[in-house]
Amino acid sequence: MGADPAARILVVDDEEAQMRALCDTLRDSGYEAVGHLDGPTALAVLPAERFDLLMSDLMMPGMDGITLLRRAQEADPNLMGVIMTGEGTIPTAVEAMKAGAFDYILKPFRLSAILPVLSRALAVRSLRLEKAALEEGLRTRTAELEAANRELESFAYSVSHDLRAPLHAVTGFASLLENGYAAALDDEGRRLLGVVVRNTRKMDRLIDDLLAFSRLGRELPAMGEIDMGRLVEEALGEIPRDPARPVQIDIGALPPAHGDARLMRQVWVNLLSNALKFAGKRERPVVEVSGARVGNENVYRVRDNGAGFDMKHYDRLFRVFQRLHSEQEFPGTGAGLAIVHRVVAKHGGRVWAESRVDEGAVFYVSLPRRADA
């Protein structure tokens, strides 16, 4: 009659006639019912048999229903409990619910009262089991991800070490060749040697960026108040610039942020380096930095009047080692924006961009304000 045929119910009542009648009623309703006359006998079967629900009389000699329920749930924490009681002991039945019972039903029994209670109890049990399975799956998945991250980090360091050894050898011998034997080479030989030197330096930068990107994967932000105006000035001080090609840099008022100042400094260094690089070939290069509070976020903006990019390639913009311009046009490894994206994501924020080819670009960073961080 609508009951789960797999549901097994353990019935404990010291009045044999009532116990047997209840078991028969439950079987007629589609449940599998097993009855016992006292608590110790019922507890003895729990290790060997699986039950979904325990129905126990509240007042029994030797071991009352509350004690039985506690002992039974120690053996099986997922076991649901329903206490059976007479009209005069309802306050005690409520105490039983505080002790772990799901509900209580009154004697003499009425089938219309029993079945809804059992249905709700078994539904709650099913939800608890599903939740426990999801949590266990999440713990397992988390452990697997942590192990994978450790392996990836170890791989990154191993690769960097294994790559640097032959790279340093190539760099060293190329320098010896350049310093000691350049005069013996013709123009083509010197050109080829220059290609070797430039590419070894590029490889060295790629390894550094790979390690920096890998480290960010396991680093937790040390949150605190950040003076973003000061941080931008500090970031600009770290960026090498050509004095022969001055850039107009306009910095507006920036709202303070809540985050890791060291990591956010890297965000500004990367965004400003990009803006200076791509605007640098203009006759009058301009970079603008501004910010505002927008709802529950602080939104910061870096605008340049540089080369811009085609928005149809936008999906590649924040991927590591992806470039939208050739290295001959604009040098770099393509890791800077991927690092920006990862740092901002660690702060619970967003980063996006707007651009048109040859019309400059605007990069936005939004960070949750402190109350929402």
Question: Residue 53 in contact with residue 118, Cβ under 8 Å?
Answer: yes
Question: What is the structure's pLDDT at 281?
Answer: 75
- Superfamily of structural domain 8-109: Response regulator (3.40.50.2300)
Whether residue 219 is predicted with pLDDT greater than 80 in this model: the reply is no
Question: Residue 34 in contact with residue 9, Cβ under 8 Å?
Answer: yes
Q: How far apart are the first and last CA of the chain?
A: 51
* Residue 124 structure tokens: 């709650």
Q: What is the mean pLDDT of residues 311-319?
A: 77
Phi, psi angles (nearest 5°) of residue 349: -110, -170
The stretches of the chain forming alpha helices (DSSP H) are 16-28, 39-45, 65-75, 90-98, 111-181, 187-216, 228-238, 261-279, 336-346
pLDDT tens figures, 7-63: 899 999 988 998 999 999 899 888 999 999 998 999 998 888 889 999 988 888 888
Question: Residue 200 in contact with residue 208, Cβ under 8 Å?
Answer: no
Whether residue 145 is predicted with pLDDT greater than 50 in this model: the reply is yes
Quote the distance between the C-alpha of residue 293 and its chain's center. 26
Residue with tokens 């942020």: 257
Question: What is the structure's pLDDT at 300?
Answer: 95
Whether residue 332 is predicted with pLDDT greater than 70 in this model: the reply is no
Q: Which CATH class is domain 224-372?
A: alpha beta
Question: Residue 260 in contact with residue 298, Cβ under 8 Å?
Answer: no
* Residue 184 structure tokens: 């013996």
Whether residue 98 is predicted with pLDDT greater than 90 in this model: the reply is no
Question: Residue 233 in contact with residue 207, Cβ under 8 Å?
Answer: no
Three-point CA angle 35, 40, 46, nearest 5°: 65
Residue boundaries of the structural domains of the chain: 8-109, 143-216, 224-372
Euclidean distance between CA atoms 118 and 105, whole angstroms: 10
* Residue 140 structure tokens: 């397992």
Domains 143-216 and 224-372 share a fold: no
Euclidean distance between CA atoms 125 and 4, whole angstroms: 12
103 vs 95, which has greater pLDDT? 103
Question: What is the structure's pLDDT at 372?
Answer: 46
Question: Residue 90 in contact with residue 4, Cβ under 8 Å?
Answer: no
For residues 102, 104, 110 and 112, what is the CA-based torsion angle, rounded to 10 degrees?
Answer: -30
Euclidean distance between CA atoms 179 and 172, whole angstroms: 11
Q: How many CB atoms lie within 10 A of CB 309?
A: 21
Q: How far is CA 295 from CA 260, 270, 291, 362, in A?
A: 21, 26, 13, 20
Q: Is 8 left (phi over 0), alpha (psi -120 to 50) or beta?
A: beta
Would you place residue 95 in the very low, low, confident or very high pLDDT band (cuts 50, 70, 90)?
Answer: confident
Question: Residue 155 in contact with residue 213, Cβ under 8 Å?
Answer: no
Question: What is the structure's pLDDT at 93?
Answer: 66
Mean pLDDT, the chain, as a whole number? Answer: 82
Question: What is the structure's pLDDT at 37?
Answer: 93
Q: How far is CA 37 from CA 47, 192, 285, in A?
A: 18, 95, 91
Question: What is the structure's pLDDT at 12?
Answer: 92
Whether residue 5 is predicted with pLDDT greater than 70 in this model: the reply is no
Residue with tokens 């076991």: 79
Question: What is the structure's pLDDT at 334?
Answer: 61
Question: What is the structure's pLDDT at 320?
Answer: 62
Euclidean distance between CA atoms 11 and 109, whole angstroms: 13
Least confident of 56-60, 213-217, 265-269: 213-217
pLDDT tens figures, 183-201: 888 888 888 888 888 778 7
DSSP summary character for residue 338:
H
Euclidean distance between CA atoms 321 and 201, whole angstroms: 16
Q: What is the mean pLDDT of residues 239-255?
A: 85
Question: What is the structure's pLDDT at 1?
Answer: 43
Architecture of the structural domain at 143-216: Orthogonal Bundle (1.10)
Closest CA to 253 of 299, 304, 306: 299
Question: What is the structure's pLDDT at 214?
Answer: 66
Question: What is the structure's pLDDT at 303?
Answer: 92
Quote the distance between the C-alpha of residue 334 and its chain's center. 25
Maximum average pLDDT range among 14-28, 75-89, 274-288, 332-346:
14-28
H or E element at residue 288: strand 286-294
Percent of the chain with pLDDT over 90: 18
